[in-house]
Structure 1
């Protein structure tokens, strides 16, 4: 006797399968028959919209959120938990639309290199009191959260909604990275590296530069006139005694390269300080008579990113195809695909989580464990990927049960902290050894956040912080982070060079630490407001202000809900619903 599909595939099995399906797969399944259409009705199914929300805005593939296991399968990402708390009566469909349509990107802090996604001139509407300048014409930073211009040109209704919807943000030493729901990755300002070397090629090694090589080949192939290359930038002296003269202007031999640069120079409509990041795979080199450099237009939108993480002077991103890309030095304009030679392929052992340390990278690979590297091979000619000089952290590859690694955090100099699903022990990898760290925390460990010299530890009901120096824990600095408002609970945290930003379960932002060189990274207002009006900080020296206790960030006079935070070197960012 045959059974109906309702008996063969009850709703709980369908629900359990949703995390493994893409959004398009779910849509296709909903059109298969009446039973699936009823379960996956995009107009009515709360289960479906919760899963779509999680897929779009609750990714666990970066170090911002823990992995999900059977022991914490009910874990909700920060934005899910906050919006659920703030709007308990709204459906997941309504929350999805709220998160997708009404969230804006706010930044504050140092103004150098347009790292905030704007300058005081380009923004055009910043009150003088929001800019720290100590009475001088030189402007140091913005001391109040400011909305970054985002798709503000006329006619932006033509831009796809998924391009305008921000999925997540990440702060590096000198810029922010912004990932859209459509999988496009953008960077604020003019530099992500600040001119500093990241975990790219080792000292003395360099990636093959196709732009530079073809320019040299083109220049060599031309006839030199009067000791110079005609009509072009970078004219080189001619080594010879030619007395030939130029009869007519020569064509611009650099037009090809200028076209490529123009195509790759994609900005947010209405904001020239937010530039889209691409990978090396979009560039084609054609060698025949004269070498030609071009952009493979078919690949510009093919590579979609699902997560991003930032270090001091580098960026790491994971694509939907499971490839890891690295922007890791001042000479790296397009992302380099990272290869793990000698390890199983991504088809059998995919990368499931990425994270940047201060000066290195770490990824979690399925059934293999945590893999770290602080340098890679240089890109060779005709190659599209570079091998990482990696090490596998021992005993971190369990795929299920209480021993499965659910979260890790990176500090500086190849020091990684991690926890398992059991949540009873904190482990440290430093100096190529693994040991247990014993600290007086209370409750089950659920989440870790690391930065330059700070490790934040979250248990089910508490949040702690401890200083880390060269991989060594400093137990005397261990402390529980508490807020004056007993009704507020910290659920997320991020740190810059010297400051910390935290997020509560109700979507409020708290900051504390050192505001160096009047950079404004705390977002608590002017120095006078911090010290004299709010009385939450003190003057450390001529241009530095110290705030010891977590202090609430205000955004005008209105209420707000923040769903994500990130701290860069001397700047802070947040995704906010006003």
Structure 2
């Protein structure tokens, strides 16, 4: 590279179009610093007036491309815009990016609907100030199933125009929603993210080290030693069951020991990290173990370091049936993967360097396993890990690398993948002609009958959705196989705009259009309300959208619009086991 002539204007070498190409590689802090370098950069990157800058800030803050619910950004969305960018640009074409940023940060709220068990929606019928008439499916006061329309989840307003409380992404698991904020905090709804089921944590027969279990065990052993029968002349005194002391008994002289240490002191300290969402006891924050000094090797007792709790900033989250996977801005993976795992375990890989030299491009969670795309290595899959050891916050995954996925350039480069049930990982390369399926440690190729090049895929449980340059399709995955005759085209004439994002639950699907409108279809089991289309009578009789498959299960076969009591715009949808969620602005 030739050296830049110091006397020549910098604009000759770094034209605005080149600067714009560089922006995605800079952090928000770097952008601000660059804007203060000289007049040229200040004009280009003026935080008050630069449309280029605010578009890049919007993209960095709200257009995730590193998790399965928001697929990798493609040209399908108006020139490589993320889904939320494309929707906002379409709906509010007269606003500049600074205005769109503030609108996205301050006015969009989280709505959920579906099964109310375990308070998974982020609220319960009793915690709401009021319940819209007809929105709760029930069989009487004591038999309540779920909310059948979107209900706003109580959430605190932003601390400032800096929007640190803004929700960036919502991922739905089998029993909870997992919510990521702009400040890098992760929250989960309800009483359990696992439902009591084991995720891809320690293999059967193994368990993570527990500092508190060890302290309780040692204390109990010490307590039992102190209560041993009194030794007399080297022999144990026989147990007397008469209730009277034997004649001539003399109590041996013995000094009472000082009270043992509080065995719950450490646990009490750790409870300080149990941070509930202000104003909503049904949403709590999840912390990686790395952020808690009590887990560290160098910790020798004391109090919880509260300043350290915000040391890990998470930038992506994905949810399986009973586990959560998250990625930090330092390229570190954290896993909540079982009923006993309260704080995220850092996942490492034998023989792989976890530094920035091997960046993680995307994370995904299947029914009971995880998968990540590592640059230059390929797709790594694991369904168990080693247990954590004393003084460690990390554990090694028992992973396998899917062969042929390591290419970083050309037509063979992996551009997207999706995780379904039975350990099935599906992926496509840049050529976009073949769908690859990894199952039972074997790779098979399938060329689906779709129009156009495949550009992104989304999946969960037994449903896979394929986006092409020309349309959108769904097909079924079962027992490690693609069901070839199950493919269905999802774009129809009665949908307002084409689908730009789709989320799949166990048995239902949510589609989000380019106009920011929500459509749902599939099976609503046990009147759980996960379709959000109203009561059973509304769906079957009033709107005539579906049919009863049993007395409490409803089938809707075609995408149907979710109704609200006002005009609205949605920028993200999520689907879990029996629940649904969306980020919505009412207007």
2:96 equivalent in structure 1: 91
Question: Residue 577 of structure 1: CA displacement?
Answer: 0.8
Question: Residue 9 of structure 1: CA displacement?
Answer: 1.5
Cα pair 2:158 2:165 within 8 Å, conserved? no
Q: Which moved more, 1:410-419 or 1:243-252?
A: 243-252
1:43 equivalent in structure 2: 48
Question: Residue 432 of structure 1: CA displacement?
Answer: 1.6
Q: Kindly tell me: are residues 491 and 292 of structure 1, through their superposed partners in 2, closer, same or farther at Cα, counting changes over 3 Å?
A: same
Question: Residue 210 of structure 1: CA displacement?
Answer: 1.5
Residue 454 (structure 2) aligned to one of 445, 449, 452: 445
Q: Kindly tell me: are residues 157 and 307 of structure 1, through their superposed partners in 2, closer, same or farther at Cα, counting changes over 3 Å?
A: closer
Cα pair 2:176 2:189 within 8 Å, conserved? yes
Q: How many angstroms apart in 2 are the aligned matches of 1:31 and 1:97?
A: 22
Counterpart check, 1:560 vs 2:561: no
Q: Kindly tell me: are residues 475 and 286 of structure 1, through their superposed partners in 2, closer, same or farther at Cα, counting changes over 3 Å?
A: closer
Question: Residue 223 of structure 1: CA displacement?
Answer: 8.2
Cα pair 1:214 1:291 within 8 Å, conserved? no
Q: How many angstroms apart in 2 are the aligned matches of 1:294 and 1:420?
A: 50
1:144 equivalent in structure 2: 149
Cα displacement string for residues 419-460 of structure 1 (whole angstroms, at most 9, x for unaligned residues): 122222222212222222121100121110011001000112
1:202 equivalent in structure 2: 203
Q: Kindly tell me: are residues 526 and 248 of structure 1, through their superposed partners in 2, closer, same or farther at Cα, counting changes over 3 Å?
A: farther
Counterpart check, 1:573 vs 2:581: yes
2:27 equivalent in structure 1: 22
Counterpart check, 1:298 vs 2:303: no
Q: How many angstroms apart in 2 are the aligned matches of 1:468 and 1:70?
A: 27
Q: How many angstroms apart in 2 are the aligned matches of 1:7 and 1:49?
A: 24
Q: Kindly tell me: are residues 127 and 250 of structure 1, through their superposed partners in 2, closer, same or farther at Cα, counting changes over 3 Å?
A: farther
1:268 equivalent in structure 2: 277
Map 1:249-398 onto structure 2 (within 5 A): 253-254=262-263, 256-285=265-294, 292=301, 294-398=303-407
Q: How many angstroms apart in 2 are the aligned matches of 1:375 and 1:157?
A: 38
1:168 equivalent in structure 2: 169
1:232 equivalent in structure 2: none
- Residue 308 of structure 1 aligns to a residue whose secondary structure is strand
- Residue 12 of structure 1 aligns to a residue whose secondary structure is helix
- Residue 276 of structure 1 aligns to a residue whose secondary structure is strand
Cα pair 2:496 2:517 within 8 Å, conserved? no
What TM-score, normalized to structure 2?
0.90
Q: Kindly tell me: are residues 519 and 219 of structure 1, through their superposed partners in 2, closer, same or farther at Cα, counting changes over 3 Å?
A: same
Cα pair 2:295 2:391 within 8 Å, conserved? no
Question: Residue 225 of structure 1: CA displacement?
Answer: 7.1
Cα pair 1:414 1:430 within 8 Å, conserved? yes
Map 1:341-490 onto structure 2 (within 5 A): 341-485=350-494, 487-490=496-499
Cα displacement string for residues 358-407 of structure 1 (whole angstroms, at most 9, x for unaligned residues): 11111011111111111111111122211011111112122233322111
Counterpart check, 1:511 vs 2:520: yes
Q: How many angstroms apart in 1 are the aligned matches of 2:481 and 2:330?
A: 37
Stretches of structure 1 lacking an aligned partner (at least 5 in a row): 228-239
Q: How many angstroms apart in 2 are the aligned matches of 1:326 and 1:484?
A: 42
Residue 61 (structure 2) aligned to one of 50, 56, 60: 56
Q: Kindly tell me: are residues 244 and 339 of structure 1, through their superposed partners in 2, closer, same or farther at Cα, counting changes over 3 Å?
A: farther
Cα pair 2:270 2:304 within 8 Å, conserved? no
- Residue 140 of structure 1 aligns to a residue whose secondary structure is strand
Question: Residue 7 of structure 1: CA displacement?
Answer: 1.3
Q: Kindly tell me: are residues 546 and 67 of structure 1, through their superposed partners in 2, closer, same or farther at Cα, counting changes over 3 Å?
A: closer
1:544 equivalent in structure 2: 553
Counterpart check, 1:129 vs 2:130: no
Cα displacement string for residues 261-295 of structure 1 (whole angstroms, at most 9, x for unaligned residues): 4311101110001000001123334999x973643
Q: How many angstroms apart in 2 are the aligned matches of 1:506 and 1:267?
A: 35
Cα pair 1:71 1:402 within 8 Å, conserved? no
Q: Kindly tell me: are residues 521 and 68 of structure 1, through their superposed partners in 2, closer, same or farther at Cα, counting changes over 3 Å?
A: closer
Stretches of structure 2 lacking an aligned partner (at least 5 in a row): 229-238, 241-250
Q: How many angstroms apart in 2 are the aligned matches of 1:179 and 1:486?
A: 30
Aligned-residue RMSD, C-alpha: 2.7
Q: How many angstroms apart in 2 are the aligned matches of 1:377 and 1:302?
A: 25
2:8 equivalent in structure 1: 3
Q: Kindly tell me: are residues 72 and 162 of structure 1, through their superposed partners in 2, closer, same or farther at Cα, counting changes over 3 Å?
A: closer
Q: Kindly tell me: are residues 250 and 525 of structure 1, through their superposed partners in 2, closer, same or farther at Cα, counting changes over 3 Å?
A: farther
Q: How many angstroms apart in 2 are the aligned matches of 1:167 and 1:244?
A: 68
Q: How many angstroms apart in 1 are the aligned matches of 2:358 and 2:578?
A: 37
- Residue 218 of structure 2 aligns to a residue whose secondary structure is helix
Question: Residue 67 of structure 1: CA displacement?
Answer: 3.3
Larger radius of gyration: 2
Cα pair 2:362 2:372 within 8 Å, conserved? yes
- Residue 522 of structure 2 aligns to a residue whose secondary structure is strand
Count residues with an aligned counterpart: 561
Q: How many angstroms apart in 1 are the aligned matches of 2:538 and 2:375?
A: 50
Q: How many angstroms apart in 2 are the aligned matches of 1:252 and 1:112?
A: 40
- Residue 318 of structure 1 aligns to a residue whose secondary structure is strand
